[in-house]
Amino acid sequence: NKNFNPAEIEPKWQARWEEDGLYHSDIDPARPKYYALTMLPYPSGDLHIGHWYAMTPADARARYMRMRGYNVLFPMGFDSFGLPAENAAIKRNIHPKEWTYRNIDRMRAQLKSMGSMFDWRREAISSDPEYYRWTQWFFIQLYKNGLAYRKKSPVDWCPNCNTTLAREQVWGEDRHCERCNTPVIKKNLEQWFFKTTNYAEELLKFDTIDWPERVQLLQTNWIGRSEGASVTFKTEQGDDLVVFTTRPDTLWGATFMVLAPEHPLVRKLTTPERQAEVEAYTQAALRQSEIQREAADKEKTGVFTGGYAINPVNDERIPIWIADYVLMTYGTGAIMAVPAHDQRDFDFARKFGIEIRVVIQPEDMAPLKSEEMTEAVPASGKMINSGPLTGTPGDQAFEQIITYLEAKGLGHREVNYRLRDWLISRQRYWGAPIPMVYCEKCGVVPESDDHLPVELPDDVEWKPTGESPLKLHPTWKKTTCPVCGSPAERETDTMDTFMCSSWYHLRYLSPWYNEGPFDPKEYDYWMPVDTYTGGIEHANMHLIYTRFFHKALRDMGITKGPEPMTQLRNQGIVLGEDSEKMSKSRGNVVAPDNLVKKYGADTVRAYLMFFARWELGAPWNSSGIDGTSRWLRRLWSTVLDPAGNGSADEETLRQLRRKVHQTLRSVTNDFENFQFNTIISALMELLNEMVKARQNGAWGTPAWKEAVDIYLRMLAPVAPHTAEELWMLIGKPYSIHNQEWPKVDEEAAAEDLVTLVVQVNGKLRDRISMPVGMGEEEAKTLALASENVQRHLEGKTPRKIIVVPDKLINIVM
């Protein structure tokens, strides 16, 4: 027989499958659909082992679903706008477009070498004008529906990348840029935002989707819902000073107020003699990060403005301070400070000698005395020193004070979210231009649909100036107003690339379609995505944005249903062999291309499924892959090399069938549950049994043929080329990938049962039936669980348990 030669068979089958359009997925109302989506790569250069680790098990599962009779859509594309292309342009003097599309060609070829079932007719590339035409169209829909707005706001700015960054692109204590590690600074710019906050409440609901608990928790915390009240204080100058508080029940204990240094009322409130100090403090605060400012253990600092406010519930005059621990970006940027019951306020009051007044007495604590307190008491409790509400018990305080405030017109119930609106603007070239036009007469107007896409010019200059290259282009921004036709200017910012990836799953449905972002017929058949797989690092970014996007479009009648992706599963990370993150600088990068060359794609696929629990990931272990390679070679010869004369006895064949169907049961189960590593180990184990059966003369018998048939079908999703080749070589019709997933023969899979005698101190106490060959420990457990045995044990621990396998268990007291 011929040798197992992946280098020969893999390209051969890939070409054949492509030629035959084997994996084309088309609408077929007769079959149930299954949309399997895996996160699309950024075309950074080479496909790395992490891509393979994410994608090949996803591919195997999509193939499995296909064999289960589903019409499976498994598309692929490229998230191809973004910073690295532009940085390459500056560094290497190559146009971002050229760099990007060169990488795409390279990575597409690498993706094809996986032997995955991607339907390449449905490829979508977000930097194609036919794609970003619709990204722009979506922007305009959001704008027309009041979900896109422009606002001058301080933004995080990376002085090295020369661009604004979203909150989630800023990392660490020192607040560095996600991409280049440079500490970010603040800059005030006119920016476009999407009102993600409109959907905060709905985004907290996960009841219609099967997403990992961890992702739900991350998103819930990110959205950060707080229930409380908004209360309006008045400054002595007569301005409203609104605060958000989660503890309106402590209102009588407010002994000062604190504004964020950036708060708009600070200037007006500050008395002339305090001005210099306030100004200096504000400047210092602006240089700090929110994380630094929020740190609980930080020494409290602040400055008195000289101004006062009136507490609306008791008309008390209280001083107004500024302090960096109050953030302008949360609530209203102003707080009522209640030192007795809030630790930060307590620290602040102690440091600056401000009164601490107890207004809550927790029911289970000795009466609180402010002079003796060493820390704030945040627990809820009976309201005291609280005017008409004094005496209100803790469990009613919150509701009662809100009723009181609302009745008096002093405040109302309010829910606050940590979630911010989505900052869309990027001062960069390589992105979808924001399709808005500034007209002197008409103001800000969207470009008309028939002028989309607003295309990027090719001739731009690369100057790292901090301005968008589009702004510096001599003619590009000059246009005419789509409303009145007078000369006008284009917006020169481009969109955050998360905008492109918020809807790529829709473009896959019909990338050829040009009457809309997607063909509604395709949408109605394929959506929602049934299984989405990808990294958990996207939990607070992409995975929130795409849900927001879907919901916003749903409310415009463009999409349907509550959620875009029904099921989500996250893979872990492949670390370097040294357990460190793989990176070029550490020199620990594993290159899949080399592995494919050495072992073949099927071995790499199988090994990646085998070497770690998929959702956990693990450090790469290069010694293990040889074992996987040996397994496939052994399978090859076991299937193909004739042996014996079919003289196996009945018991051998029965055991073979049992093992085959038991394996099928567990492999089926594991595919359902994304447990890829045990699929491979079960297949390895079954092969061992087959080798034994073959030695005992099973080769060529009907049971043997069945074993091979089922084995190859189970192998097909994992090692598609090897399975296809063997399938052909044993004379079966092309293609194995059009075969059905086999069904478990429960009778064949069932274990033989034996009846075991159970004795206590040598006396028969029970008979229990259990599978032949059951392990000693399991047998003991079953015996001890017997009611009659328990009765005779009288609650005592046995001294010894003697097991005669498949016959008898004697429990000695």
Region for residue 281 given its phi and psi (left: phi exceeds 0; alpha: psi -120 to 50; beta: otherwise): alpha
336 binds, among Zn ion, ligand ANZ, none (CB under 5 to 8 A by kind): ligand ANZ
CA dist., res. 251 & res. 314, Å (int): 9
Q: Which candidate, 314, 306, 309, 341, places its Cα nearest to that of 243?
A: 309
- Going by C-alpha positions, the residue among 404, 416, 417, 415 that lies closest to residue 251 is 404
Q: Which of ligand ANZ, Zn ion, none does 153 bind, CB closer than 5 to 8 A by kind?
A: none
Conformation bin of residue 697: beta by default, left when phi > 0, alpha when psi is -120 to 50: left
User: How far is C-alpha 717 from the chain's CA centre?
Assistant: 25
- Contact set for Zn ion, span 422-451 (CB under 5 A): 439, 441-442
Using DSSP bridges, classify how beta strands 443-446 and 436-439 pair: parallel, antiparallel or unpaired: antiparallel
Place of tokens 């699929």: 679
Cβ atoms within 10 Å, residue 451: 16
Which C-beta is closer to ligand ANZ: that of 93 or that of 374? 374
Q: Is 33 helix (H, G, I), strand (E, B) or coil?
A: strand
Q: Which residue, 370, 346, 375, is CA-closest to 357?
A: 370
Nearest distance, CB of residue 672 and ligand ANZ, angstroms = 40
**Pair 783, 768: CB distance under 8 Å:** yes
Token pair belonging to 244: 């958000």
Q: Which is nearer to ligand ANZ, 335 or 436 (CB)?
A: 335
Q: How far apart are CA 346 and CA 343, in angstroms?
A: 5
481 belongs to the binding site for Zn ion (CB under 5 A): yes
Of the candidates 216, 246, 370, 739, which one interacts with ligand ANZ according to CB under 6 A? Answer: 246
- State in angstroms the smallest separation of the CB of 399 from ligand ANZ: 17
Contact 571, 53 (CB under 8 A): yes
Q: Choose the one of ligand ANZ, Zn ion, none that binds residue 550, judging by a C-beta under 5 to 8 angstroms depending on kind.
A: none
Among 180, 484, 750, 785, binds Zn ion (CB under 5 A): 484
Q: Of the two residues 241 and 338, which places its CB atom closer to ligand ANZ in the complex?
A: 338
Q: Which stretch binds ligand ANZ (CB under 6 A): 69-77, 189-197, 333-341, 788-796?
A: 333-341
The torsion angles phi and psi of 237, rounded to 5 degrees, stand at: -85, -5
Stretch that binds ligand ANZ, among 99-107, 179-187, 239-247, 522-530 (CB under 6 A): 239-247
The correct pick among 338, 445, 608, 715 for binding ligand ANZ (CB under 6 A) is 338
Binding track, positions 411-450, relative to ligand ANZ; x by CB under 6 A = -----x----------------------------------
What span, in angstroms and rounded, lies between the C-alpha atoms of 85 and 43? 9
539 strand-pairing partners: none
Q: Is 339 exposed, middle or buried (0-12, 13-18, 19+ CB in 10 A)?
A: buried
Looking at beta carbons only, is 197 or 226 nearer to ligand ANZ?
226
- Nearest of 280, 356, 355, 289 to residue 325 by alpha carbon: 289
CB 191 within 8 A of CB 379: no
The residues in 170-229 that bind ligand ANZ, with binding defined as CB under 6 A, are: 226
Interacting partner of 442 out of Zn ion, ligand ANZ, none (Cβ under 5 to 8 A depending on kind): Zn ion
Distance between CA 105 and CA 84 in Å, rounded?
A: 17
Which listed option, ligand ANZ, Zn ion, none, makes contact with residue 247 (CB within 5 to 8 Å by class)? ligand ANZ
The verdict on 568 binding Zn ion (CB under 5 A) reads no
The Cα 64–Cα 120 span in angstroms is 19
Closer residue to ligand ANZ (CB): 247 or 428: 247
Q: State the minimum distance, in angstroms, from the CB of residue 788 to ligand ANZ.
A: 58
Find the shortest distance in angstroms from Cβ 345 to ligand ANZ: 7
DSSP codes joined into one string, 600-620: -HHHHHHHHHHSS-TTTEEE-
User: Could you tell which of Zn ion, ligand ANZ, none binds residue 216, using a CB distance below 5 to 8 A set by kind?
Assistant: none
Q: How far is the CB of 776 from ligand ANZ (least distance, A)?
A: 56
Query: Which residues, numbered 373-392, are part of the site for ligand ANZ (CB under 6 A)?
Result: 378
CA distance 248 to 392: 13
Residue 643 interacts, among Zn ion, ligand ANZ, none and using kind-specific CB cut-offs from 5 to 8 Å, with none
322 near ligand ANZ, rule: CB under 6 A: no
- Minimum distance, C-beta of residue 488 to Zn ion, in the bound complex (Å): 6
Q: Which of 27, 286, 310, 483 binds Zn ion (CB under 5 A)?
A: 483
Picked from ligand ANZ, Zn ion, none, the partner binding residue 729 (CB below 5 to 8 A depending on kind) is none
DSSP letters of 292-348?
Answer: HHH-TTSPP--EEEEEEEE-TTT--EEEEEE-TTS-TTSTTSEEEE-TTT-HHHHHH
Nearer to ligand ANZ, 95 or 350 (CB): 350
Alpha carbons 403 and 209: distance in angstroms, whole number: 36
* Residue 290 C-beta: closest distance to ligand ANZ, Å: 9
Q: Is 705 annotated as a binding residue?
A: no
Q: Which residues face 574 on adjacent strands?
A: 618
Asked whether position 326 contacts ligand ANZ by CB under 6 A, the answer is: yes
* Binding-site annotation, residues for ATP: 584
> Residues in the site for Zn ion, rule: CB under 5 A?
439, 441-442, 481, 483-484
> Residues in the site for ligand ANZ, rule: CB under 6 A?
226, 244-247, 250, 326-327, 330-331, 333, 335-336, 338, 341-342, 378, 416
